[in-house]
A and B are shown apart, each in its own frame.
Chain A
């Protein structure tokens, strides 16, 4: 289905949906754009810049309560309640790369033997209304990892800015439902304009980098700690890259106890942290930032594609590059491994 919606009506749509859904949308606060729980009265900010943090939290919140434990009295058996996520969500105005991030989760969180009900429930109850990008940033490389500025994969509705509104195309049935709202109008000839815009945006990205050799080349550098020490020299070992990343899916589970009540929570974890691999004995198999950066990059461009049909665990949004306090560039590191000669 192809429809058209004005900018104003998109805000109306968000307001309408907010009555029945948890709506996440990019909102600027102090000039910083982040996805927030949209409330009527807020202004959407789809265009000033890509949101600092990816919309990953819609399907994989930073803190997810897995279960609660409650005791009336210490001697009595505690009551354990599983807290599966309830309700439906809509993400409005993410970029195609952000919506695509969750696809990387699928082969890990939903396999024949293991299913993660929290992720699956959230994924199946969240609709992504993405906005195609009209020009690439210096940090964008979605085209190099099998995607593009108007990639519909992972989105339910894809918007393309045309004039004072958006051409809206449904990608899935859930997306089609959204387009049934009376706020949408007939797209008319605007569809052609949208196609031209998307084509132009793709052209502006230039030639894609070929990552086909990356898995093997990175694996070849596995034992070369000098290589990784040099590549990680400027890394400050914080978690900005992983927490911003639409595809990073590692988590930690802890119990938050307060008196006779307790909450088992699942929280984002990050492989740049010393505690990520710290073992109970005190031994740490990844004691330095060189070990840890090797893992982050190896996982995305070597181990994951090796296991999952060559798909890179990266959607090319570039957040890890531009939000890195030290400017570590993941593209350069993979390239350095690809071009490495003894």
Chain B
């Protein structure tokens, strides 16, 4: 039986006790998936998994507080579940986790760059074991999956769900943690270059807050300090400085909590490389506290605790 059939069977068995199970279905065209809220066996027919199922569905979990729901998670998504559990933002008994052993998901950005025409003109998509056959505007193209995988998948060390009630598929031998060339290159730039980069890039931001709302860890939802009037942290003016300020708010509030699922960057309609900020902050957290968010259950987020003697923070003597 295929992974998908296994998953459908597993969901079918639990559907009765659940408000819904969150999975994916085909979206507005054959190249895009969209979240699916399975409430009946009929809905189950539309379920898909695979490289197009990019969304981190854990984002929806806190919206179901007090109800018991199921969620399908990839390895990276399961880290978000763990982090929410660690912060006691969801109740383990209220979630049934259908974990996947994931072979990676695509980056629509990379597909767009690799196709001979705009992916908006897509006519058909065939998903093979290691490639995507896409027909756009009458032209057929074969994309190697490894060429269009999302950045997070290139450096993934948790392909299989870390926490789950049912694990579907064959577990991988996780690759050792790697680093990303674009990240290293960016970090090697001078302060002035980086500053100019963000000035320019933030002038493109329209502050739609898709990055915030797609984030599974942004649990304040309607009560974010970015939209609060009192205190007034941010002006409504969408100047680069205010836009950057919001990103600083986002990164600060995710320090030690970000599970690097990449949803902020994926959600950005103007493709701002937000993960440059997130990955950098996460590495600082790892260096100082020897922790990575969402990897271990029952771990207190580093900024919610302290040590009297910090091994890796110098005392800033003057």
Contacts and interface: CB of A to CB of B under 8 A. Distances in A.
Contact of A327 (B32, B121, B200): B32
A34 interface: yes
B175 interface: no
Most B C-beta atoms less than 10 A away, residue of A53, A138, A263: A138
The DSSP consensus for interface residues of chain B is mixed
A29 B204 contact: yes
B239 interface: yes
Interface stretch (A71-79, A116-124, A206-214, A269-277): A269-277
Interface in A108-159: 135, 137-140
Contact of A275 (B36, B227, B238, B239): B227
B248 interface: no
A327 B204 contact: no
Contacts of B227: 273-275
Contact of B34 (A29, A53, A62, A326): A326
Interface in B220-246: 221-223, 227, 235-239
Given A139-B28, A273-B227, A325 B213 contact: yes
Looking at B208, B212, B221, B235, the one whose CB has the most chain A CB atoms below 10 A away is: B208
How many interface residues does chain B have, given as a range? 35 or more
B198 interface: no
Interface string A256-277: 1000000101011010011100
Contacts of B269: 52-53, 240, 243-244, 323
A267 B236 contact: yes
A167 B120 CA distance: 24
Interface stretch (A191-199, A216-224, A230-238, A293-301): A230-238
Interface residues of A, number: 48
Contacts, number: 136
B236 A238 contact: no
B212 A321 contact: no
B122 interface: yes
A30 B271 contact: yes
A322 interface: yes
A31 B238 contact: no
Contact of A63 (B35, B60, B238): B238
Interface string A48-67: 11101100000000110000
Counting from the closest, the 5 A-B pairs by CB-CB distance are A137-B120, A327-B34, A274-B222, A325-B267, A138-B29
Interface of A: 29-32, 34, 48-50, 52-53, 62-63, 135, 137-140, 230, 233-234, 236-240, 242-244, 252, 254, 256, 263, 265, 267-268, 270, 273-275, 318, 321-323, 325-329
11 contacts: A32-B204, A62-B238, A63-B239, A139-B120, A234-B34, A236-B214, A238-B209, A238-B210, A322-B32, A325-B266, A329-B27
Interface of B: 27-29, 32-37, 55, 59-60, 109, 112-113, 118, 120-122, 137, 200, 204, 206-210, 212-214, 221-223, 227, 235-239, 263, 266-267, 269-271, 273
Given A50-B120, A238-B208, 4 more contacts: A34-B204, A137-B120, A140-B120, A322-B120
